[in-house]
Amino acid sequence: MHRSCLCEKAGGDLVLRPAVLEDASLLLAWRNDPETRAASRNTAPVEAGEHAAWLAGLLEDPARRLYIVVAHGQPCGQVRLDPTGDGLQLSWTIAPQRRKKGYARRAVSLVARAFSERTLTAWIRPENHASIRVAEAAGFRLAGTRDGLLKFVALGVADVQGR
């Protein structure tokens, strides 16, 4: 799996770089933003110590990826990939003050292209219209519902060819 930065085509101003431990406070602020909490499975605020341990564990795990979305040189969000039985589960957040500029659509589409050999999944609350648009723009399609969440799937190249 990719360990390096993901970049848009030449001239693009958006880069996804692998997260590092020093991103902990930025990531915690985004995680505890009320809109992010409302969109998450676990809506409770996360405490700093617990968050630092979670981030350290994630960064040590070769099967997981966490990217910081950098636009015009400024960190403006994150995209995470976690292994599932049959592929990778994506989740994403854009910093509150940087929303509605197209960053989520561009960042998630970039990740979906970079990992197009794998089957990608995203779980989205039905009222999260922005994320539904982001997922659809990145090639995900609605594949079902569970526990009140919509399951979006982008089939991996191998799955599509094997049909």
Ligand X SMILES: CC(C)(COP(=O)(O)OP(=O)(O)OC[C@H]1O[C@@H](n2cnc3c(N)ncnc32)[C@H](O)[C@@H]1OP(=O)(O)O)[C@@H](O)C(=O)NCCC(=O)NCCS
- Among 134, 138, 150, 153, contact with ligand X (rule: CB under 6 A): 134
66 and 80 Cβ atoms separated by less than 8 Å: yes
With respect to ligand X, which residue has the nearer C-beta, 31 or 64?
A: 31
- Among 94, 110, 114, 155, contact with ligand X (rule: CB under 6 A): 94
**71-74: which pairs have CB atoms within 8 A and are 24 or more residues apart?**
71/13, 71/14, 71/98, 71/101, 71/103, 72/13, 74/98
Residue 39 touches ligand X, criterion: CB under 6 A:
yes
Residue 35 touches ligand X, criterion: CB under 6 A:
yes
Helical residues (DSSP H) of 4-163, grouped into ranges: 24-32, 34-39, 48-60, 103-114, 129-137, 157-161
- Among 79, 104, 138, 155, contact with ligand X (rule: CB under 6 A): 104
Give the nearest distance from C-beta 27 to ligand X in angstroms. Answer: 12
Residue 46 touches ligand X, criterion: CB under 6 A:
no
How many binding residues for ligand X (CB under 6 A)?
Answer: 22
Q: Which helix (H) or strand (E) holds 119?
A: strand 119-124
Interaction site with ligand X (CB under 6 A)? 35-36, 39, 91-94, 99-105, 124, 128-131, 133-134, 137
